Amino acid sequence: MIYFKTKRLIFRDWKASDIPKFQRMNVDPDVRRYYEVKELDKEISKTRAEEFQKHLEDRGFGFFAVELKRTGEFIGMIGIKVIDENGPFKLEIFPCVEIRWKLMKKYWNQGYATEAGVGLIRFVDRNTNIHELYALFPKKNFAIQNVVEKIGMTYHSSFDHPLIMDGHQLKPFSVFYRKI
């Protein structure tokens, strides 16, 4: 099922043919640079994609597969996730809805992440009762900070991620926010 489109992108259900590309993306060291776990093995990637699809079917939103309109090629994922108070750590903003993306490296620096973010915000506004979004990411990830600012998010707060060991370069996190 196609959920929405932008000028260059289609946001749709996950297909079996996406899995090998998603698996390759999840072992790419550049894609995983801002994750503490540097690789997701093939089985975990497959399971995650299946979970993303089930969530889309159950709720009508979640993490969408993203493809190029021009070629039909899978380029990554974008979506939203509800973070509740029952997770592995707590923040004052919980419960909240978080926006996340992950694109294959060859599609970076072409405006796709920004275009996807703008399209997702429009989809959320028109199709859900969600009225605010948060982005949580390592402070060192300046590329994603640039994207969230381009889609109208502003700095909210920062925290040291409690699940990342002390002294690790990815422990300091930024939180950005946007009303919809």
Domain-wise residue ranges, the chain: 2-179
Could you tell me the pTM of the whole model?
0.94
* Cα distances (Å, whole numbers) of residue 82 to 59, 61, 94, 98, 109: 11, 10, 9, 6, 28
Superfamily name with CATH number, domain 2-179: Gcn5-related N-acetyltransferase (GNAT) (3.40.630.30)
pLDDT digits (tens, 9 = 90+) for 40-51: 889 999 999 999
**What pLDDT was estimated at residue 9?**
99
Averaged pLDDT for residues 114-136:
98
pLDDT digits (tens, 9 = 90+) for 4-27: 999 999 999 999 999 999 999 999
**What pLDDT was estimated at residue 38?**
66
**What pLDDT was estimated at residue 152?**
98
**What pLDDT was estimated at residue 88?**
86
